Amino acid sequence: MKRMLILSGIVVLMFIVTSCAKAPKCADADVKQLATEISGEIIINGILGDSTVEIGQKLNPDEPYEKELMGKIGYIPGSNYFYKGAAKANITDLKKCTSPAIKELLSSLETRSKNIQLDSIRMSSTDDKIKKCSCEADLTFDKTAKLPIKYEAQKTEEGKVRVEVHMDLTKAEKI
């Protein structure tokens, strides 16, 4: 009887372990949330990268960090020019700025990025062995544009979900 009870316990434990070891699903709440947050940051960085002169004009050259950032993005103070081949402005760098104009710009972009959602979510492939799924979806933002994206979700050894997003901002279309 004890052997039967132990064997039953092992079977139940194996069932629990194997059911937890499956790949995440494209529409899982945590996968969608991560894919949406990452997509928002990619879009903001794309907008910022295309706005180097505008950003350079808003930076305060009297603030040491902002002056350093001007050099990083290749902005020539007091002009409408920047050095070609310089790094593009990104949200991580700009969050460290103290300039009110930069803070206002970031606030505006972050508000717009909160209106992002995933629609038409589709699973392209799944591999339970490595706990990974590949997905496609339409990313809609501001209810005025949509962008096809691809993303992958994979469970780590610790059981957390890791998401990687791929998109081409030039494929956005108005809706």
Number of domains in the chain: 1
Q: What is the pLDDT of residues 77-117, one digit of tens each?
A: 766 666 665 667 778 888 888 888 888 888 888 887 778 89
Q: What is the pLDDT of residues 113-171, one digit of tens each?
A: 778 899 999 999 999 999 999 999 999 987 788 899 999 999 999 999 999 999 988 88
SS3 content of the chain, % helix, strand, coil (to 5): 45, 25, 30
Output b/e per residue, 10-27; b: 16+ Cβ within 10 A: eeeeeeeeeeeeebbebe
Indicate whether 16 belongs to any domain.
Answer: no
Indicate whether 51 belongs to any domain.
Answer: yes
At residue 6 the predicted structure's pLDDT band, cuts being 50, 70 and 90, is very low
Indicate whether 2 belongs to any domain.
Answer: no
Indicate whether 52 belongs to any domain.
Answer: yes
pTM of the model: 0.71
Token pair, residue 81, equals: 């020019």
Q: What is the pLDDT of residue 61?
A: 83
Indicate whether 61 belongs to any domain.
Answer: yes
101 lies in which domain range? 46-112
